[in-house]
Structure 1
Amino acid sequence: MKVLHVITGLGIGGAEQQLRLLARQMPVDTHVITLTEPGPVAAGLRADGIPVTHLGMKGNRDVSVLPRLVRHIRRGRYDVVHTHLYRACLYGRLAARIAGVRALVATEHSLGSDQIEGRPLSGGTRALYLAGERLGRCTVAVSPSVARRLEDWGVREPRIRVVPNGIEAGRFAYSAEARRAARERLGVEQDAFVVGGVGRLAAGKRFDSLIRAVAAVDGARLVLVGEGAERARLLRTAQQCGADARVILTGACEDPPSPHAPAGSSLPALLSAMDVFVSNSPDEAFGLAVVEALAAGLPVLYAACPAIADLPAGAVPAARRISGAHDELSRLLRGLSTAPPGRRAPADAVLRYDIAHSAQQLMSVYEDVLTQPVTPSR
């Protein structure tokens, strides 16, 4: 089977790194096209032996990319075209149909309750989304919560398949050696109480509230892993709180890391360096960072996480849901700082999100779209 993935960009992000993890697992001939930004994940894919083509798209309305994409699909003679992220889904589905490919799959990675890929939802966004959806055979939702949102938008239930995001669970196991190396690299004392967070530095993640909460806990340190437009504002917030010396922004972290990454710089190592993990975002499509933190044995405070919400009640005792309010968060962190709970083995429910299982489910989707009749979009 020959599969082409079309994605908007290959900078470091959840959807981009999820694509790389799946490509490493899938027993198919995989090729990738990125419309924009052939960043670190493109380099990682190439290091894995997966061809990546960059089309150099200049913006949302750069329609010159469409005929180039059509030509590439025709030359490749792909069995399945699989699109990821809003822009790539629109252009990729249309190009594949023009090129004569009917086995079209799209993954919806980032549909929240009131935003998509961090941008507010609108009637126009929804109309374009549904117009593109009609061109495909199947939309993959990364959680049952996202599947329900797709149905609410107007996507018919038979055209939706749930394939949860996955992680290479074994790589995230806690390591005392990695903890020492990561703390040395970050300049953090080995006995310090360290709060952690992972994600795009965007307003919707509410990292500013987390900074204020950590600033209210004597001696606590905060390690934020990620990059984004809010970086300068978050640093100003830390300075205003008098905690700039206790807040560390590591920048983006490629995962899996390159073979030459320094010791203590990988995401599993950075999670090993933390004592508690906080996800303060009120709107998530899955909550991949929470699952990674739980796989590392960390106690987790989270405001929203469909990956946990879709499990039976009490399945993940290490995770506690919070409102995200500053006073509540600082109080909880203050209590944890006086008696850190230490590491625990990940719950079996967390280990179900192994990437190998997700890859098997996605293979079933591919086989179905190649053999089953089309399900009408209306």
Structure 2
Amino acid sequence: MAPAPADTRSAPRAERERGRGDAHVPAAGPLRILVCPHELVTGGSQLIAIDLAARLRERGHVVAVYAPRGPLEERLRERGLTWHPAPRFRGDSLHPAAVARFLRELRAFEPDIVHTYESGPALVAGVAAAALPLRHIESVLSMWVPPHVPDGVPLLVGTVAIARQVAQRSGPVLLMEPPVDTVADAPGDRVAARERLGVDAGAFVVSVVGRLSREHGKARGVIEAIGELDRLGDPAPGARPVLLVAGAGDEEGAVREAAGRARIDVRMLGDVPDPRDVYDAADVAFGMGASALRALAHARPVIVQGEGGFWRLVEPASAAGFLQHGFFGAGAAGQGLGALVAALAADPDRRRDLGGYGRMLVAERFSAARAVDRLEDLYMSEAAVPAARRPREALRALVRYGRLRAALAAPAAQRAWRRTRGRDV
């Protein structure tokens, strides 16, 4: 199929009859798809949204991305995607202006499918569906599904365990494990990557790519890693340790403070829209979720970071658990990061074997080409039925959102209320 027109607002709609807000069924042919990631800062969910959107555009669909400003704007341009600026989405606050702006976007672009990523855009789209007919698909690739995510539309989640947790929703729940472009994310030249990053060829490099945020203890884990690697010192004889940290977020300042106190060389790279050199430069990588998968695709041994001091090596003995629950964990279990890095530094053959194993695992299980086939089938299936207004679902989502706000504002009172009602937020 030929690429979609670049000006998606004025693209012709061959063989379609459409009025503003019609609950029509589109004729066979390319779909108009509005993709709504929650932000354009480097992170697994955002990169997945952009990659899948670009692949759908390459198949001839008319695709636009509606998202707040951020460093990934350049990546949108590189992938040939049209970007429509959005106000900031927040999962813990809902602004009437954001809903009004979204309704204007819907009336201007008139999508056949709206695909939101994470809870902020999902809630805005759910509320908008009270006013306009909408075919809405949600992806929540975080480690939990917030209660205010609208429950009457298809939901894509990233792990088997999460799919089971939300199986009682009124809408369908589908498993879409985080896809990885194993062509773009493939083992590269370590020496060349280090040269581009200004890292000595003989250093022992540990890399992490991800959001430096409070969510899931991401920034806290990086701070913990800095401390453990600092105490470890030189992990291999004659190899100066270097920690590469690529990412930004609401706790970036705290990570920078920890880096400034460290004796080891910690390189704070900021937000890196294309972090492939950061993965390729590594002897060992750590991270969670989609970032861990991308590191595995680069054939690097990976230590999965979780909450509460969780660190675990990806190896055949741990793979089944990660495939079930996601590349994440909670609570200290087994060795800490420093001990795992020290063992890997002392055994280059094991590093090579684990790198090869991780690459094979990702190629066989997390192919982006297979994911886009499934997603396109889902879009076509949803587009075959009329769009609908969903005022009751919007109201339910707002009520649950209100409870969440109450829980955030007064957690003790909310816990007491939940005990009297015998139900969750």
Q: TM-score, normalised by structure 1?
A: 0.76
Q: For residue 141 of structure 1, report the CA deviation from its aligned partner.
A: 1.0
| SS in structure 2 at match of 1:110 | coil
Alignment match, 1:348 = 360
Structure 2 portions without partners, runs of 5+: 1-30, 235-239, 307-311, 397-425
* Cα root mean square deviation, aligned: 3.4
For 1:337, give the aligned amino acid: A
Residue 234 (structure 1) aligned with residue 236 (structure 2) = no
Determine whether 1:210 maps to 2:198: no
In the alignment, structure 1 residue 133 sits paired with structure 2 residue 133: no
Distance between the aligned counterparts of 1:17 and 1:169, measured in 2?
Answer: 14
The partner residue of 2:84 within 37, 44, 53 is 53
After superposition, give the CA deviation of every residue in 1:115-152 in whole Å (9 maximum; x if it has no partner).
x6xxxxxxxx62x33xx323xx211112223312323x
Evaluate the alpha carbon distance shift between residue 235 and residue 314 of structure 1 in structure 2; reply closer, same or farther with a 3 A threshold. Answer: closer
The Cα of 1:323 is off from its aligned counterpart by 6.4
Q: Using the alignment, how far apart are the partners of 2:368 and 2:122 within structure 1?
A: 23
SS at match of 1:298: coil
Written as runs of structure 1 = structure 2, the 5 A alignment for 1:180-199 is 180-199=191-210
Other-structure match for 1:264:
none
Residue number in structure 2 paired with 1:200: 211
In the alignment, does 2:114 pair up with 1:81? Answer: yes
**Residue 179 of structure 2 contacts residue 367 of structure 2 at CA under 8 Å; is this kept in 1?**
yes
Given that 2:76 and 2:82 are in contact with CA atoms closer than 8 Å, whether structure 1 keeps it comes out as yes
Aligned position for 1:300: 302
Amino acid at match of 2:360: D
Taking the TM superposition and a 5 Å limit, the aligned residue runs for 1:1-378 are 1-26=31-56, 27=59, 28-34=61-67, 37-56=68-87, 60-101=93-134, 103-112=135-144, 126=147, 128-129=148-149, 132-134=150-152, 137-151=153-167, 154-156=168-170, 159-176=172-189, 179-203=190-214, 204-205=217-218, 206-215=221-230, 216-218=232-234, 219-243=240-264, 246-255=265-274, 267-279=275-287, 287-304=289-306, 312=320, 328-341=336-349, 342-343=351-352, 344-345=355-356, 346-351=358-363, 352-371=365-384
TM-score by length of 2: 0.69
Q: Deviations over 1:6-40 (max 9, x none)?
A: 33332322222111100111132111222xx3223
Identity %: 24
46-55 or 287-296, which deviates more? 46-55
Quick check: which has more Rg, 1 or 2?
2
When residues 48 and 197 of structure 1 are mapped into structure 2, their CA distance, relative to the original with a 3 A threshold, is closer
Unaligned runs of 5+ in 1: 117-124, 256-266
Code of the aligned partner of 2:297? A
The Cα shift of 1:339 comes to: 2.8
CA spacing shift, 1:209–1:67, aligned 2, 3 Å: closer
Q: 1:172 to 1:7 in 2, by over 3 A?
A: closer
Quick one: which amino acid aligns to residue 138 of structure 1?
P
Q: Per-residue displacement from partner, 1:255-308 (whole Å, max 9, x unpaired)?
A: 3xxxxxxxxxxx2222111001123xxxx6xx1111111111111122459x99
- Asked if structure 2 preserves the Cα contact closer than 8 Å seen for 1:138 and 1:159, the reply is yes
Kindly indicate whether the alpha-carbon contact (under 8 Å) linking 2:42 and 2:211 is maintained by their aligned counterparts in 1: no
